[in-house]
A and B are shown apart, each in its own frame.
Chain A
Amino acid sequence: MATTTTKSGEITFDQAAPARSLWSDALRRLMRNKMAVASIVVILFFVVIAVTAPIIAPHDPTFQSRIRTGGGVELPPFWVADGKPGYPLGTDVSGRDVLSRIMYGAQVSLSVGFIPMLIILIIGTIVGMNAGFRGGWVDSLLMRITDITYAFPDLLFLLIVISALRDTPIASLLGGLPLMFIALSLIGWVGVARLVRGQVLSLREKEFVEAARSIGTSNGQIMMRHLLPNSLAPLIVSAAFGVPGFILAESFLSYIGIGVRPPMATWGGIISDGFASINSSPHLVWVPATCIGLLTLAFTFLGDGLRDALDPRMKL
């Protein structure tokens, strides 16, 4: 940075180059990454579909139309001879419009990807921060819980929790979505807490924390103002990598019939409904499978891009 000395001897800094923060730098690097930008476009595409589904979906996703063809129960998609333009992707076994179900399914997949992630970020950060900074019983407890969680296969634990809570009042709310959020949060927060704890353990010995403490900054202030912002980067990256896992878990659970309850439209549910006729109407499987694949790929590549943008040396 260029400096000039004025006549009185003061040193002033040239303001020609605008100040760039860590975050604006990271954003610039992210935007130069083609895969990351493509991923953001894909994610935004699904977000727009999910948000506008009630307006742009051609039909009610649960309405069972009686339009049928001579051959099969379901209406074929438009590229097959008997297809009707009003039902671009045809209808499923129950006569429901598949395109509308795919659109509404995006709502489920995205909310299952984002909401539990938000919950575990909050819980995990609070627990991890306290465990790392204060140590003591919070830390020992967290380590014991980690041991237990790591001994459970994730999917198995998810299956047990969901089936255990299946007959409670919360399970019948909103097609079982809140139950899905709770179950996913239960298995996810430990990983976040571990990550934050590790960050805090190395950060709290750094000079800037010592400096902050020496001028009398309270523990709460140190955690909020110094430790949290400095552990954000790996947290954001791990969140991006965590979302696909949630989306997949929901899809698989809905596929085996214990996820989101019918008649609510979900991609896993559409695959499950169409699986029996995979030979005659393969699009009932490949269209939702492609949606799941695209969305999870997008989050994974976004995670890659974020990792490179936030800290080129960071390895997760």
Chain B
Amino acid sequence: MTAYIIRRVIALIPVMIAVSLITFLLMHLAPGGPFEGQEGKRQDPYMQKRMQEAFGLNKPLYEQYFIYMSHAVILDFGPSFQTRGRNVTDILKEHYGYSLKLGLFALAFAILVGLPLGIMAALKQNSWVDYLSLFVATVGVAVPSFVLSLYLLLFFSTIFQWFSVAPTLESYQNELKPWILPTIALGLPSAALLARLARSSMVEVIRQDYVRTAQSKGLRQSVIVLRHIIKNAMIPVWTVLGPLAAGLITGAFIVERIFLIPGIGSYFIDAIGNRDYSMIMATTLIYSTLIVIFNLLTDITYGLFDPRVKVGS
């Protein structure tokens, strides 16, 4: 197992180098740069040259790349281009909390809503719970976060006015209420996915021989459901939680933007517009690292939760 994990981690290094190289080259080889000014706005060429020297943009590309990466591995992402005088690492520290909070809320929502719905639906097939679960699963999977966010905003903020259309920074810091709509918008598709998966997995397990054996032994129904059915049916569910969590943390761009949450996704979109090279590189590296780590964890948990799967060999 340890050897397997080490082997997998080593295999990640070339992937991460490729990701960083692609991002770096795309940003630097493209025409235009952070100090070329906006359209129609002239900038002093002398100042421009000074700025480029100050940020090391006059050095050869490979040198810039090595300088950046050698700092990036110790989590020093260099000075920000758009917010003068600030380090990207400091900016990220200030903003990542919001993204993390939203991602964790959405994950909790997905698990607390999706799993019970799926489990109940399987235990009471063709009942109203089953139909409700099917409805949530269909709508949740099919209606995209973008549209869902806008609808939630329209109904609950504009028509019913239960929530503010444009929550302030302070309210996101101090209150829980403004987080409700974004959590639903981001979490519902995942909840739907979990409900679907939990239901189909449960239905499969219920039909297994060992469940019939347990029933014929005269075990109490609650024991059968908890110890035999749910425990085994959750194996495929746990394994999607990894990619799901990664998706929720990194996929919050849309929701963050619409609900004006000052998270990394929102900040990244600004950085893209301003050609903030160091910020773009930092965000890409962090998000990619998160994704590959979550994928790796998923593969490892396969082996932990299901003894039949041998990941090492």
Contacts and interface: CB of A to CB of B under 8 A. Distances in A.
B291 A150 contact: yes
Nearest to B250: A153
B165 interface: yes
Contacts of B253: 155-156, 252
Interface in B210-258: 250-251, 253-254, 257
A166 to B, nearest CB: 7
A285 B280 CA distance: 30
B304 interface: no
Contacts of B150: 271, 285-286, 289
Given A159-B268, A279-B165, A152 B288 contact: yes
Contacts of A153: 250-251, 287-288, 291
| Majority secondary structure of chain B interface residues (helix, strand, loop or mixed) | helix
Contacts of A251: 146
A48 interface: no
Given A151-B292, A156-B287, 19 more contacts: A144-B14, A148-B22, A150-B291, A151-B16, A153-B291, A156-B250, A156-B253, A159-B269, A160-B26, A160-B272, A248-B146, A251-B146, A252-B146, A256-B269, A279-B165, A285-B154, A289-B150, A293-B147, A296-B144
B31 A156 contact: no
A293 B26 contact: no
Interface in B126-166: 141-144, 146-147, 150-151, 153-154, 158-159, 165
| Majority secondary structure of chain A interface residues (helix, strand, loop or mixed) | helix
A168 B251 contact: no
Interface string A125-156: 00000000000000000001001101111011
B272 A163 contact: yes
Question: Chain A interface: which size bin?
Answer: 35 or more
A252 B252 CA distance: 12
Contact of A156 (B27, B147, B153, B284): B284
Contact of B144 (A159, A160, A163, A248): A248
A164 interface: yes
B295 interface: yes
Nearest to B280: A160
A251 B257 CA distance: 13
A156 B20 CA distance: 13
A303 to B, nearest CB: 10
Contacts of A256: 257, 269
A289 B151 contact: yes
B15 interface: yes
Contacts of A271: 150
- Of listed B19, B143, B269, residue having the most chain A CB within 10 A: B269
